[in-house]
Amino acid sequence: MKVKKWNIFVIGGTVLLLVILAGATAFIDPFVHYHKPLPFLEYPLKDERYQNDGMARNYSYDSVITGSSMCLNFKCSEFNELWDANALKIAYSGACFHELNESLQRCFSYHPDIRFIVCSLDGSRLNVPADYDEYTGYPVYLYDDNFFNDVSYLLNKDVLPKVLAVINYTRAGEKTPDRDMYGNWAQYANFGAEIVLKDFEPLPVSEEEYYLDNDDIDRISDNITENFLDLALEHPDTEFYFFFPPYSICYWDSMVRSRQLGVQLDAQRLSASLLLSAENVHVFDFSKRIDITANLENYMDAMHYSESVNSEILRCMRNGECELVSDGVDNYYAEVKKLYEGYDYRSIEP
């Protein structure tokens, strides 16, 4: 009897402890999977791939700002003022188009009447398979409505510290990031020519010119069509604003030296042409904004720009500046190629 009682005590105590831990996780909910941040607690929201879906599920919004790190410094308040909207920013560092498509599909499942979507078209993500994902280890148990696989969240030894982090964050007097500052990395970065050029090394000049072959064209076409064009066609009442980010002059120097300028611009031209076949799609390209790209005070490295550039991108989008049109895409990219092939790069080279 003593052994039996001991076993019952141990099993019962273990079950009770697990219930308490699961209940604490569900109540505080550090990944906002079940509810928005509790009003009496402050949340250190900084785990994009763990928290974005919960925000998309539980927050109120009629517009979505998504994309890669090129979108994390957008301010929802600026978008809302320009578009008279209620935007949610759920971007992902290093995102591929397949990941963005799946995220947007979930957004539509939670909020079918999304009015506007803003999304970056990163140059390095164009010529990859449509189902390519660079990031691994997604918390898929947070992305569905299956309550039973939530055990991976509720009884996860790696989640418990996140629960405690909310408590400690609150006790420390910190505040839950608002929609403007959620994911914002500019507040931690240093910008300027000195910073950029410190780590910039010009590439050796390549002797071989690169071109898109048929496999490249098919791969880019599938990637754009399956992840973005089909999504736009499925939601004709939503306006999509895609943009090619304004990388710095150092990036374009590398493209010229590696003889990849033409192939990169051809990939952008093909992508833009495909997307513009949908009436509810707008495509913007800021490559000709030499006032931005050649001013290294705007950048922290060859590609990542300050939040003032994000603000300028939104302003241009709202005013229709730097917008591509179907019958002008070829001429536009011919001009961009001429611009960067003829640029004097001596100012950024030792």
- pLDDT at position 291, please? 96
- What pairs with residue 87 in β-bridges? 63
d(CA 120, CA 83) in angstroms, rounded, equals 18
Identity (one letter) of the amino acid at 78?
E
d(CA 89, CA 65) in angstroms, rounded, equals 5
> Looking at 182-270, which runs of residues are DSSP E strands?
239-244
d(CA 307, CA 69) in angstroms, rounded, equals 11
- The 3-state DSSP class for residue 285 equals strand
* 3-state helix, strand and coil shares in percent for the chain, rounded to the nearest 5: 50, 5, 40
Mean pLDDT score, 290-299: 96
Residue pair 227/105 in contact (Cβ under 8 Å)? The answer is: no
User: How confident is residue 39, by pLDDT bands cut at 50, 70 and 90?
Assistant: very high
Residue pair 127/77 in contact (Cβ under 8 Å)? The answer is: no
More confident residue, 103 or 137: 103
Query: For the chain, which residues make up each domain, given as ranges?
Result: 58-143+175-348
Q: Is the CA virtual torsion 311, 315, 321, 325 positive or negative?
A: positive
Closest CA to 95 of 128, 57, 122, 127: 122
User: How confident is residue 137, by pLDDT bands cut at 50, 70 and 90?
Assistant: confident
Token pair for 274: 């495909």
Residue pair 324/333 in contact (Cβ under 8 Å)? The answer is: no
User: How confident is residue 346, by pLDDT bands cut at 50, 70 and 90?
Assistant: confident
Place of tokens 């990944």: 31
| pTM for the whole structure | 0.94
Exposure class string for 81-116: b at 16+ Cβ within 10 A, else e = eebebebbbbbbeebbbbbbbebbebbbeebeebbb
Which CATH fold would you assign to the domain 58-143+175-348? Rossmann fold (3.40.50)
pLDDT tens by residue, 195-238: 999 989 888 999 888 999 999 999 999 999 999 999 999 999 99
Residue 60 has pLDDT above 60, yes or no: yes
d(CA 178, CA 206) in angstroms, rounded, equals 46
- pLDDT at position 12, please? 67
d(CA 113, CA 64) in angstroms, rounded, equals 11
Q: How many residues does the chain have?
A: 350
Token pair for 138: 């997604």
pLDDT tens by residue, 9-33: 566 666 777 788 999 999 999 999 9
- pLDDT at position 145, please? 87
User: How confident is residue 80, by pLDDT bands cut at 50, 70 and 90?
Assistant: very high
